Structure 1
Amino acid sequence: MTGDEGGRVRRWLRQLSRTMTLRQVLAAGATVVVLASGLFGGLATARTAGPTEIVAGEPFHAEPFDLTVERLRWSDDLGLDEDVRGRYLVAVATVENTSDHPVYTSTVRDSVRLKGLDGFYTGLLGEETGRSDDAAPQVLVLADASPLSAVAPGLEYEVAFVWEQAASEPLPTEATVAVSAWTWRRSSLDDQLMWFDPTVTHAGTLAVSQGRAS
Structure 2
Amino acid sequence: MSVTGRGGLSRRLTRGLVDQAAPGLRWAVAVVLLGVSGLFGGLDTVADPQAETVAAGTPVPGGPWEVTIHEAGIRRELGKLRLKNEGDRWLYVIATVRITAEESTMLPSDLLVLDGVTGLVAPTPEESALERDGSRLRLLQPDMPERIWFVWEQSGSAPVPTSLTISVEQRTWREDSLGGEWHWMDVDAKGDDNPAGRVTVPVKADTTPPSASPSPSAEPSASTRPRPSASPKPSTSRSPSAGPTP
User: Normalised by the size of structure 2, how large is the TM-score?
Assistant: 0.59
Equivalent-residue separation in structure 1 for 2:111 and 2:54 (angstroms): 14
Could you list the runs of 5+ residues in structure 2 that have no partner in the other structure? 1-30, 188-192, 211-224, 227-246
Contact 1:185 1:193 in 2 (8 A): yes
Contact between 1:77 and 1:84, CA under 8 Å: does it hold in 2? no
**Alpha-carbon spacing, 1:169–1:193, altered in 2? closer, same or farther (3 Å):** same
Question: Would you say the 8 A contact 1:76–1:84 is kept in 2?
Answer: no
Give the match's secondary structure for 2:199.
strand
What's the CA shift string for 1:143-192, capped at 9, x where partnerless?
Answer: 22221111111211000111110111111111210011112345444556
Name the counterpart of 2:98. 96
- Quote the residue 1:62 is aligned against: 62
What is the CA–CA distance in structure 1 between the aligned matches of 2:96 and 2:171, rounded to whole Å? 18
Give deviations 1:1-46, integer Å, cap 9, x for gaps: xxxxxxxxxxxxxxxxxxxxxx99x959x46x739xxxxxxx9xx5
> 1:156, 1:204 → 2: CA distance?
19
2:158 to 146, 169, 173: 169
Alpha-carbon contact 2:60-2:168 (below 8 Å) kept: no
Choose from 136, 139, 144 the match for 1:155: 144
Which residue, out of 185, 194, 199, partners 1:204?
Answer: 199
Does the 8 Å contact 2:69/2:199 carry over to 1? no
CA deviation after TM superposition for structure 1 residue 83, in Å: 3.8
- Is the counterpart of residue 136 in structure 1 residue 131 in structure 2? no
Give the 5 Å matches for 1:41-120: 47-83=47-83, 85=85, 86-105=88-107, 107=108, 109-120=109-120
Further displaced range: 199-208 or 77-86: 77-86
CA contact (8 A) 2:83 2:89 kept: no
Q: Give the match for residue 135 of structure 2.
A: 146
1:34: which partner in 2? 41
- Superposition CA RMSD, Å: 3.0
**Residues in 2 aligned to 1:182 and 1:93: alpha-carbon distance in whole angstroms:** 18
- Matched residue, 1:17: none
2:16 is aligned to none
Deviations 1:116-138 (A, max 9, x none): 1221112xxxxxxxxxxxx1112
Of Structure 1 and Structure 2, the greater strand share is in: 1
Give the count of matched residue pairs.
168
Find the structure with the greater CA-based Rg.
1
Which secondary structure does the structure 1 equivalent of 2:41 belong to? helix
What is aligned with 1:10? none
Greater shift, 80-89 or 148-157, is seen at 80-89
- Which has a greater percent of helix? 1
Q: Which amino acid aligns with 1:69?
A: I
Structure 1 counterpart of 2:100, which letter?
T
1:81, distance to aligned residue in structure 2 (A): 4.0
In structure 2, C-alpha distance between the alignment counterparts of 1:167 and 1:152, rounded to whole Å: 37
Once the two structures are aligned, what percentage of the paired residues are identical? 26
Q: Output the CA distance in 1 between the equivalents of 2:160 and 2:176.
A: 41
Q: Give, as a single letter, the amino acid of the residue that structure 2 aligns with 1:66.
A: E
SS for the counterpart of 2:167 is: strand
* Aligned 8 A contact 1:66 1:96 in 2: yes
Contact 2:121 2:153 survives alignment (8 Å)? yes
